[in-house]
Amino acid sequence: MRYVMLLEAAQPATPPPAELMDAIMKLGAEATAAGALLDNAGLLPSAAGAMITVTGGGLTVTDGPFAETKEMISYAVYSVRSKEEAVEWCSRFMKVHRDLWPEWAGTCRILQVMEF
């Protein structure tokens, strides 16, 4: 099963500590070596994006930035055996943020990819 993990956060006043970046790289290497992590990357702020909406028979394109206080800041695609395994990898990622960057607050959405 594949899962997409979408990380949303507001930018804290302090930059991420070097220890956090090291921990993220180590966890990513571990997940890649385990065959679980397929792809991941940071995302630019919504000002660089657009939103396309279809409603009432019309199509509207809205350029960013968007009004949300939290930005979608990164994504990861995992291939795992269960939702519980996806939750475990994501929890480990979120825990290094909690432990190494106390000012940071964010949310990670875990969505299963539909496969036919």
CATH number (domain holding residue 102): 3.30.70.1060
Residue 70 is predicted with a pLDDT of: 84
Cα–Cα distance for residue pair 24/73, rounded to 1 Å? 14
Cα–Cα distance for residue pair 29/74, rounded to 1 Å? 17
- Number of domains present in the structure of the chain: 1
Tokens of 18: 């070097």
Of all residues in the chain, the percent with pLDDT exceeding 90 is 86
Structural domain including 101 reads 2-112
Residue 116 is predicted with a pLDDT of: 87
Tell me how crowded residue 89 is: count the other CB atoms within 10 A of its CB.
21
* 3-state helix, strand and coil shares in percent for the chain, rounded to the nearest 5: 30, 35, 30
User: Nearest-CA neighbor of 74 among 14, 13, 27, 19?
Assistant: 27
Cα–Cα distance for residue pair 6/36, rounded to 1 Å? 16
* Regions of the chain short of the pLDDT cut 50: none
Q: Tens digit of pLDDT for each residue in 13-26?
A: 889 999 999 999 99
pTM for the whole structure: 0.89
